[in-house]
Structure 1
Amino acid sequence: MSLTRQDRKMTLFALTWPIFIEVMLHMLMGNADTLMLSQYSDNSVAAVGVSNQILFLLIVMFGFIATGTTILVSQYLGANNYKDAKGISSVSLSANLLISIIISVVIVIASEDILLLMNLPRELLPEATVYLQLVGGFSFIQALIMTASAILKSYGYTKDTMYLTIGMNLINIIGNYLFIFGPFGFPVLGVQGVAISTVVSRIIGLIVILYMLKQRVHFTINLKELFKLPTHHLKNLLHIGVPTAGEQLSYNTSQMVITFFITMIGTEALTTKIYTQNLMMFILLFSMAVSQGTQIMIGYLIGAKEYDSAYKRCLRSLYSGIVISTLMAIIFTIFSDPLLGIFTSNERILEIGGTLILLTILLEPGRAFNMVIIGSLRAAGDIRFPTYMGILSMWGIAVPIAYILGIHYDLGLVGVWIAYICDEWVRGIIMLYRWKSRAWMTKSFSHRPAVSS
């Protein structure tokens, strides 16, 4: 199967393994600030933890432009339309820069008020405010990195973004070490130092990734052209990004409601959920990487009008995702006790957590259905159907069943996990039907006539 130009190397495996490593590093190192601060002060950990909840929502908001960028650039490259591929790259960087600068300013001005709205204890407010103002104030840098990374991945350079992630994490950890423990005469700055090292690692990361864009795809930011936003490109970006962001926000909100149900069961149940989901995330990594790699390939194939190849590619990726996630779930079930034992020695948590990981054997294949097929539908330009079905399933299946089984019938976390399984499988089967209907074949962005701005 040929995709375009140099892309004889663009196999699913070649795209996927660097994405897998990158996402795993984000997962392992994303909490480096919190883990290292735990050696400094429990209050500092709590302050940074609350601030990071707010910053995570910003990442979701920036991510909707990056998602649209991946899909549109892939489709244009598949259609050998390099001019529009660069055009959409420029528009996506401009749009995310404008949005993120506004958000960054708001965060700096209103950080204390936002933290108070989250009912943060007064004694944690000074440290949390410093962290949120520094990291949030420079969040526009992260927005640009996410967008530039999406462009590079769309061109097939997934290893470049992996190396960048490794480098940024190393710089961040070194900075944390210097400012938390104060070796070689460095000042011990605690939370402020952690924020500084985070910002510095991102600034260096931005410089490097912009250099990568210039070297790899000959894309150079022209300040005069940067803020010319062609209407048709911006419209396509928002057409993909806004529903995707809406679905992500809906998912996060539904999970908050289910977490509230779990708090009704008890603190031990909430702790068990956190530990179990921490382990489950490593199973999810495989489906996530396969989904992202497949999305890029589907975009190319749709752009090249190779619809039959795109149809088969999605199904092959789906089978791979199901097999890998099922095998990983089985392995984690066999070793559930020692894995959960990393976090706790509580026999009750080990017992319930082991049952939940066993149920994961049913849950993860259903999740693979959704991640792979929804990514493929979006790559083909079919945006609204998976979004609407996702929101309907989250609130019509997952939330009510979690309450009915978990709370009303007193099944606890097992009832909640059954709700997750029902949500993933019902939605997954509907998505498979949608893919097999081939309704997505008429929704490509790369073949729509451009509308002059």
Structure 2
Amino acid sequence: MGLRSRLNSIFKGQEEFDLTSGDVGKPLFFLALPIVVTNLFQTAYNLADTFWLGQYSTDALAAISFGFPMVFLLISLGMGLSVAGSVLVAQHTGAGEQREAEYAAGQTVTFAAIASALLGGIGYFFVEDFLRLLGASQDVLPLATSYMEVIALGLAFMFGFFVFIALMRGYGDTITPMLVMFGSVVLNIVIDPFLIFGWWVFPEMGIQGAAIATVFSRALAMVVGLAIMFEGSRGIEIHLRDMAPDFGYLRRLLRIGLPATIEGTGRALSMNLLLIVVALFSDTVVAAYGIGTRVFSVIFLPAIAVARGVETMTGQNIGAGKPDRAEAATGIAAKVLFGVLTAAGIVTWFTASAIADVFTTDPAVVSVTTEFLRYVALTFGFIGIMRAYTGSFRGAGKTLTAAAISVLMLGIIRLPVAWFSAQSIGETGIWLAFAVSNVIGATIAYLWYRRGTWRDADLTESEAASPDAAATDD
């Protein structure tokens, strides 16, 4: 039995179930499970660079700490196109419009390549200024700059792989991207020390070597992904004839994708603005904040994965004219995530001190981290609810609604609550802001969803619904 056959027996592929008929919960589970694993592999990229550069020098480790927020911002600025492509592929696939799905995929690849090349070029020329704005010291600034210059030049390769994952997910195949991601992560982990330390025949390149390893492994993954899509044997197929830039179709992609870009960019900016509030306190509080947010990023992986599954389920069922199935899938996801993450929150509440001990030996940091985790832990379930409903909004093409909920939660609720309460009750006010915004964000998402406006999706109708129509929509 081959590797793919073995994995299919565990995860099951898109060919094993129909997203638009039959059971709702089972296909949602099999869509989400590989996404969880893929996200874990994505986390492994950052962990590998952090580990090896930590062995190399403290300044190099500090440099990538400044580099990661900029990478996140650049990716966020371009992510709208991948979201739009995923939504259109899902809706056309659900409607049985294979030709239109292929055209959407081809156009997404083309404009994503153009956008990432532009963002990478702009990022390359403004890297140093941005890093200086973030507060990089004179010792760290040249290292962080050299790292980010390579990343910026290779942004098209990195973003190309994210587009491959999104398009395959829209079709309903989450296993193939997981396998490609696994190979890419292994390659990155293996070549990292050779380029950083100068092992064997390679020169010692330090932090720049880590960047080259990341770009090279992502580039290879993108090439494999494109080969799979051109072949068309494992999901959506793309054709060269569909990749000539169609600026009429670009308007359609931007209409769906721009709000998703705003959402992602808003998240990135709100994280950096919240850091300004945290930085008002001691290094102990800053360290505790860093540990807590890393713990959250791991715990919330299932919520992110299920939200992506809901996005695909909603898109395909909206396309098939079955909004009731989309609503049923969303309801199941919200209930399951609330239960699972609430249970995780209870465990976290009781083990908060032990979790903090894994990351630091400083008793003061352990104490503050424990407080942070316990304030937020019992609201984990509400994150699951919000993610489920915003995922359904995106799948229905209501990306502006999903973005509005995210901005409300992070920018209008969490940031002001953190700012004002921190001035009166200290760092505890920041932890309280997380808990309050989680609950209110979930409530807003649920009430907005119950209004039913997501059912009015119109992404597969009238003009630009077909390649021929799109070609004349200028």
Q: Could you tell me the TM-score, scaled by structure 1's length?
A: 0.92
Q: 1:8 to 1:327 in 2, by over 3 A?
A: closer
Q: In the alignment, what sits opposite 1:435?
A: 449
1:271-420 correspondence to structure 2 within 5 Å:
271-408=287-424, 410=425, 412-420=426-434
- Single out whichever of 117-126 and 257-266 deviates more from structure 2: 117-126
User: Take 1:341 and 1:123, find their aligned partners in 2: how far apart are those partners?
Assistant: 30
User: Gapped runs of 5+ residues in structure 2?
Assistant: 1-16
Paired with 2:204 and 2:428, the residues of 1 have a C-alpha distance of 45
User: 1:254-269 maps to which residues of 2 (within 5 A)?
Assistant: 254-269=270-285
Q: What's the offset of the Cα at 1:346?
A: 2.5
1:246 is aligned to 262
**Among 231, 234, 241, which residue is 1:216 paired with?**
234
What's the offset of the Cα at 1:37?
1.0
Aligned CA distance change for structure 1 residues 136 and 221 (closer, same or farther; 3 Å): farther
2:91/2:320 contact within 8 Å kept = yes
- Deviations, residues 372-405 of structure 1 (Å, cap 9, x unaligned): 1011012112232332343234333212211222
Question: 1:241/1:322 Cα in 2 relative to 1: closer, same or farther (>3 Å)?
Answer: same
Over 3 Å counting, the alpha-carbon distance change for 1:405 and 1:280 in structure 2 is same
User: d(CA) in 2 for partners of 1:419 and 1:21?
Assistant: 30
Query: Residues 206 and 432 from structure 1, CA distance in 2 versus in 1: closer, same or farther, beyond 3 angstroms?
Result: same
User: What is the correspondence of 1:230-241 to structure 2 with a 5 Å cutoff?
Assistant: 231=248, 233-241=249-257
Identity of aligned residues (%): 23
**What does residue 197 of structure 2 align with?**
181
Change (3 A) 1:217 1:130: same
Aligned residue type for 2:64: V
The 1:242–1:439 alpha-carbon spacing in structure 2 relative to 1, beyond 3 Å, is same
Supply the distance in 2 between the matched residues of 1:70 and 1:300 (Cα, whole angstroms). Answer: 10
Q: Say whether 1:227 aligns with 2:244.
A: yes
CA distance in 2 between partners of 1:396 and 1:197 (Å): 39
What is the 5 A alignment of 1:132-147? Answer: 132-147=148-163
Q: Aligned-pair distance for 1:225?
A: 4.0
CA contact (8 A) 1:179 1:189 kept: yes
Q: Do the aligned residues in 2 keep the contact of 1:4 with 1:77 (CA within 8 Å)? A: no
Other-structure match for 1:120: 136
Q: 1:446 aligns with which of 460, 468, 471?
A: 460
Shift of 1:220: 4.0
Displacement of 1:154:
1.4
For 2:136 and 2:365, locate their aligned partners in 1 and report how far apart those are by CA, in whole Å: 28
- Structure 2 residue corresponding to 1:3, chosen from 1, 19, 32: 19
Residue 387 of structure 1 aligns with an amino acid whose one-letter code is A
CA contact (8 A) 2:94 2:317 kept: yes
Amino acid of the structure 2 residue aligned with 1:228: P
Q: How does 1:163-202 map to 2 (within 5 A)?
A: 163-202=179-218
**In 2, are the aligned partners of 1:273 and 1:413 still within 8 Å (CA)?**
no
| C-alpha distance in structure 2 between counterparts of 1:112 and 1:416, whole Å | 30
Between Structure 1 and Structure 2, how many residues are aligned?
449
* Partner Cα distance (1:9, 1:416) in 2: 37
- Equivalent-residue separation in structure 1 for 2:202 and 2:312 (angstroms): 44
Structure 1 unaligned regions, length at least 5: none
Aligned to 1:38, what secondary structure does the other structure show? Answer: helix
Give the match's secondary structure for 2:334.
Answer: helix
In structure 2, the CA distance between the partners of 1:128 and 1:398, relative to structure 1 (3 Å rule), is closer
Indicate the RMSD between aligned Cα atoms, in angstroms. Answer: 2.4
1:90, CA displacement in angstroms? Answer: 0.9
1:92 equivalent in alignment to 2:108: yes
Give the CA deviation at 1:113: 4.1
* 1:418 CA displacement: 2.0
Range 343-352 or range 93-102, more displaced = 343-352
User: What amino acid sits opposite 2:52 in the alignment?
Assistant: M
8 Å contact from structure 1 (residues 303, 447) kept in 2: no
Instruction: Provide the rounded CA distance (Å) in 1 between the counterparts of 2:142 and 2:408.
Output: 41
SS in 1 for 2:200: helix
